[in-house]
Amino acid sequence: MSVRLYLPRDAAALACGADKVAKALAAAAPGVPLIRNGSRGMLWLEPLLEVEYHGVRYGFGPVSAADVAGLVSAGILEDPAEVSHPLAIGIVAQHPFMAAQQRLTFARCGVIDPLSLDDYIEHGGYKGLERAMKLAPADIVAEVTKSGLRGRGGAGFPTGIKWKTVLDAEASQKYIVCNADEGDSGTFADRMIIEGDPFQLIEGMTIAGIAVGATRGYVYIRSEYPHAIATLTEAIHKARRLGFLGPKVYGSAHAFELEVRAGAGAYVCGEETALLESIEGKRGVVRAKPPLPAHKGLFGKPTIINNVLSLTAVPHIMAAGAEYYANYGMGRSRGTMPIQIAGNVKHGGLFEVAFGITLGELVEKIGGGTASGRPVRAVQIGGPLGAYFPPALFDTPFDYEAFTAKGGLIGHGGIVVFDDTVDMAKMARFAFDFCSIESCGKCTPCRIGSTRGKETIDRIVAGIDVEANIALVEDLSQTMKLGSLCALGGFTPYPVLSALTHFPEDFRRTAPAVAAE
C-alpha cells in the first residue's frame, strides 16, 4: 500500500484525544506507517489525520477514535483524494488557513517527523549553520542585525544588538539561554515549535553560540509543558549522538552543549533576569538592571537570553539571507510573526504571517469570528499584560509601533477573543489578581498595589463610590507603571486601563443588576 499516515503528537492534539485515535488506527489499519508529527496549527481541526498519497497530503479532522473505522471504510487508505466524508478537508497545504500564511519559522512544523534528523535535514535543516560556519562571528551577528529581527518574547528588542553586546564582552565563559517559559495566556507558539520542530531551536542556539563564542546553552521550559520538555530532551540526545552538539559541532572546532531546565510554576520566571536566577537555583526574583544579562547574565557571565521564536528565526535568516527575511513586514517590524489566535474563536490556531496584517483580518477573516457564534466584543493581545481592544480598533496593523500607538502591545503574539458575554470589570479584576498572585514581591506598587486594585474593582462592581473608585484605580495604575521594576507590575495597567477606556459601561452597572448577581 502506498499511503502513509500522519497524526500529531502535539500537546493540543493529545488533549483532544490523538492517542486514542492512534490506537484505533493501529487496529483498523495494521501495517500502515503512522508518523506522529507536530501540529500544522489548525487547532480547531485537531486531531488532524493526514493521509499521504503519491506525495500529496489529504486531511481529515477533527477525528475521534470513533471516526476511524468509518474513515477507513470510506477508502482513505486507497485513494484519499476521492473520499467524500464530512471530516475531509482536502489537500492540507491548500487549505485557506495554510495557503494564506507565509511560513518561515513554522515551514516544517506539522510536516516532518519532529525527532528525525534526516527529515529535518531533508527539509532544509542545518543549512543556516552551514553558512554561519563559513562566516566570521561578527558577520553572523551583522546578518542577524540586518534582518531586522526583534525579540519575539515581548519587548521587541533588536536581536542583533543584543548579540553584538555579548560578542564584544570578554569572558572565559558565555551562555546562550532560551526563554521557553511562555506563560502568557493565548500563546502556544514556543510549545508548538519545540514539539513540532525541535532541531530548529537547537540549530538556532548553536548558531548563536558560534556567533558570540558561547559553548553552553540552556533552554528553560515551563513545567506546564511536559511534552515539550520530553521532545526537546530527546532531540538534544539525538543531536549530540550524531555530532550536531558536543565538543566538535558538525565536525568543526566549535563546541556547544545544550541542556533543558524545567521551570516550577512561576509566571515571573519568564522575565529574563528572574529566569536566570531560577536556573541558578534561586527564588525567581527580578534583578535590577544594569548590569544587563549581556554583560553579567547567567552565573555572572555574558549571556544571550532570547525567546524561542527569536532563536528559531535565526536558521532561516542565515540560510536565506538577512534581506530575504527583512523583505517581509512593515515599518520597523521586519520578518514574519507566528501569531496565535485563541480563546472564543471559530478557527483558532497558529498563523505565521508578515507583520502588517490587521487585527480585524486575523480575528474575523482568519479566525472566523467567535466559536460561540455571538458578536466579538473584546480581544486581548499580548497575554495577561496586554491591552483589551474593542472591534473599533480592528484596523490596527500587527506591528510593534502601531500597537503602542493605540495603547497596546503585541507581546508574544497571542490574541484571545471574547464574545459579548464577557464582563470587562471581571477581566480588569483578574488582571490585578494575576499580578498579585504572580508578583515576585520586590516592588511595593506591584505587590500591594495589585491587591488594592482588586479590592477597589470589587467596590466599583458593588456600586460603592463608583467614580471615586475608578479614579483610584487610575491613580493606582499610574503608581504601578512608574514604580515597578519589571513589566509584571508595570504593564498590568494595560489590561486594566484599556478595559476602563473601551468598556466603561461594564464598570458602571446599576445597583439592582449587581444585587441580582
Partner 1 sequence: MSRHEPFSVARTEELVAQHLHLEGPLLPILHAVQEVFGFVPEAAVPVVASGLNVSRADVHGVVTFYEDFHQKPDGEHVVKICRAEACQSMGGEELAAHAERCLGVSFGQTSADGQVTLEKVFCLGLCATAPAAMVNGDLRGRLSRAGVEAIAREVGR
Ligand X SMILES: Cc1cc2nc3c(=O)[nH]c(=O)nc-3n(C[C@H](O)[C@H](O)[C@H](O)COP(=O)(O)O)c2cc1C
In sequence order, what DSSP letters do the residues of 349-385 get, joined into one string? EEEEEETT-BHHIIIIIIS-S-SSSSPEEEEEESGGG
Residue 434, interface with partner 1 (CB under 8 A)? yes
The x, y and z cell numbers of residue 126, run together, are 542545518
Q: Number of helices (H) and strands (E), helices first, in the chain?
A: 22, 16
Q: How many CB atoms lie within 10 A of CB 471?
A: 12
Q: Which one of 34-42, 72-80, 107-115, 264-272 is the stretch in contact with ligand X (CB under 6 A)?
A: 264-272
> Whole-angstrom Cα distance, residue 252 to residue 133?
8
Sign of CA dihedral 163, 164, 167, 173: negative
Q: Which one of 14-22, 210-218, 411-419, 436-444 is the stretch in contact with ligand SF4 (CB under 6 A)?
A: 436-444
CB of 169 to ligand X, least distance (A): 17
Residue 293, interface with ligand X (CB under 6 A)? no
Residue 360, interface with ligand X (CB under 6 A)? no
Residue of 203, 271, 277, 419 interacting with ligand X (CB under 6 A): 271
| Strand spans (E) along 92-245 | 175-180, 216-221
Residue of 96, 291, 300, 441 interacting with ligand SF4 (CB under 6 A): 441
Residue of 60, 106, 188, 398 interacting with partner 1 (CB under 8 A): 188
Residue 269, interface with ligand SF4 (CB under 6 A)? no
Q: Which residue has the cell 562571528?
A: 137
Residue of 25, 42, 112, 443 interacting with ligand SF4 (CB under 6 A): 443
Q: Which amino acid is at 184?
A: D
CB of 478 to ligand SF4, least distance (A): 14
Residue 484 binds which entry of ligand SF4, partner 1, ligand X, none, CB below 5-8 Å type-dependent: ligand SF4
Taking the least distance from each CB to ligand X, the nearer of 153 and 495 is 153
Residue 277, interface with ligand X (CB under 6 A)? no
In 3-state terms, what secondary structure has residue 258?
A: strand
Residue of 29, 485, 496, 497 interacting with ligand SF4 (CB under 6 A): 485
Residue 219, interface with ligand X (CB under 6 A)? no
Residue 447 binds which entry of ligand SF4, ligand X, partner 1, none, CB below 5-8 Å type-dependent: ligand SF4
Taking the least distance from each CB to ligand X, the nearer of 93 and 437 is 437
CB of 36 to partner 1, least distance (A): 15
Residue 375, interface with partner 1 (CB under 8 A)? no
In 3-state terms, what secondary structure has residue 290?
A: coil
Question: b/e for 343-380, b at 16 or more Cβ within 10 A?
Answer: bbbbbbbbbbbbbebbbbbbbbebbebbbeeeebbbbb
Q: Count CA within 13 A, CB hemisphere, residue 43.
A: 26
DSSP code of 400?
H
Q: Which residues lie near ligand X (CB under 6 A)?
A: 151-155, 157, 179, 181-183, 268, 270-272, 305-307, 310, 486-488
